[in-house]
Amino acid sequence: MSGRALEGILVADFSRVLAGPSCGQILADLGAEVIKVERPGSGDDTRQWGPPYADEGSTYYLGLNRGKRSITLDLRDEEDGKLATELCRRADVVLESFRPGTMEHHDLGWEQVHQINPRAIYTSISAFGHGEAARDFPGYDLLVEAMSGFMSITGEPDGEAMRPGTAIADMTTGLYATIGTLAALKERDGSGEGQKVEVNLMESAFVMLLNLGSAYLNTDHMPTRTGNAHPAIAPYQTFATADGELALAVGNDAIFARCCEELGRPELAKDERFLTNPDRVEHAEELASLLSKLFAADNAQQWSRRLIAAGVPAGPVNDIHQAYEFAEQIGLDPVVELDGVRSTRSPIHMSRTPADPVRRPPRLGEHNDELRAWLSES
């Protein structure tokens, strides 16, 4: 083992809420020293986002900030402003997610940081970009999911538009911010120069439209809500069983034939309505009606075992407890515990430089004394 991949990289994390902190947490898991800068008194908004709360605070906050150290700085205060500037001067990465113009107001914008630290990567996360017309829009995941069209494709066909169960636009933006930051660090190895990395929630949400965005852009096709069914693959949805829901993912004609065989209806694979995937998509409602009656005959776990044994992708719709339990049953190790705080382990597995956190999420201003002393050193 040769240490950790980002060992020696210092990140000044001025971000808050979700997208930025998730990026900072990934960098910390990979070995970077991440210093979380928070406003005195209340700190990151997510510290108050609950219930539920654990002994260490809001579980929302705990899920996004492990591996970091916390310092409280009032950017409006002259002395604290000097410490913030010094932190940026020493940092390899400056990460921020304020409303456009805020960091510039505190003399911590890209141009100002680049002058004092030309090697710094400056990763800036916004909701709608940094254009003048976008500056007045507040940056919340719900608004972006609504305004990007993502909610228009989520939900039941005859129901209202729905947001996903978690802040997907924020999380996707955090991932793209991480990718951009790592790419800029790699480029710096050759050029010796830092650069600005900009990522916004709106464009990240467009990426999440995936095939539906491509369909619109290339054919003017307007996607609609399809519930748990897929607009271009059938059957690819959930079905009610005797005791719960079952997810079925039939990706090709051979899988469909095996599925029909296991259901005791092999003739369905030869039915002209269902011969090929385009045929099945065209007659998706008829097919779903037929399959629904068959799946009602047994429970979700039994169907899952039978279908998987037959080479058909299927699985029960688990609750979160069942999901973590299942992950452990198949040999995964999805939970990490640090000083009593449990969180989901990084999905990145590296053979020589592990992506494992070494520090629980910090309490507000927990490292004030040591960090202020360090930043005050000449």
**Domain residue spans of the chain:** 10-208+334-376, 236-326
> CA dihedral defined by 212, 218, 219, 225, rounded to 10 degrees?
10
| Calpha distance 294→238 (Å, rounded) | 13
At 371 the pLDDT is: 97
Average pLDDT over residues 5-14: 97
Same fold, 10-208+334-376 and 236-326: no
Average pLDDT over residues 357-367: 94
Is pLDDT above 70 for 2? Answer: no
Q: Which of 1, 6, 53, 72 is nearest to 33 (CA)?
A: 6
At 136 the pLDDT is: 74
At 378 the pLDDT is: 67
> For 271, which DSSP code?
S
| Least trusted range by pLDDT, from 19-28, 221-230, 278-287 | 221-230
At 1 the pLDDT is: 43
Cis, bond preceding 138 (omega within 30 deg of 0): no
The confidence band for 135, taking pLDDT boundaries of 50, 70 and 90, is confident
- Is 170 a known active-site residue? yes
Do 239 and 246 meet the contact criterion of CB atoms below 8 Å apart? yes
Strand-by-strand arrangement of the 236-240 sheet: 236-240, 245-249, 314-316
Average pLDDT over residues 212-235: 94
| Calpha distance 28→9 (Å, rounded) | 9
Select which of 92, 107, 170, 298 is catalytic: 170
Distances (CA, A) of 241 to 230, 255, 268: 19, 20, 20
Instruction: Tell me which fold the domain 10-208+334-376 belongs to.
Output: Rossmann fold (3.40.50)
Q: Does domain 236-326 have CATH number 1.10.357.10?
A: no
Average pLDDT over residues 166-190: 97
| CA 140 to chain centroid | 15
Q: Which residue has the tokens 């209340």?
A: 42
| Calpha distance 10→312 (Å, rounded) | 47
| Mean pLDDT for the chain overall | 95
Q: Which residue has the tokens 């005050």?
A: 376
Average pLDDT over residues 35-52: 95
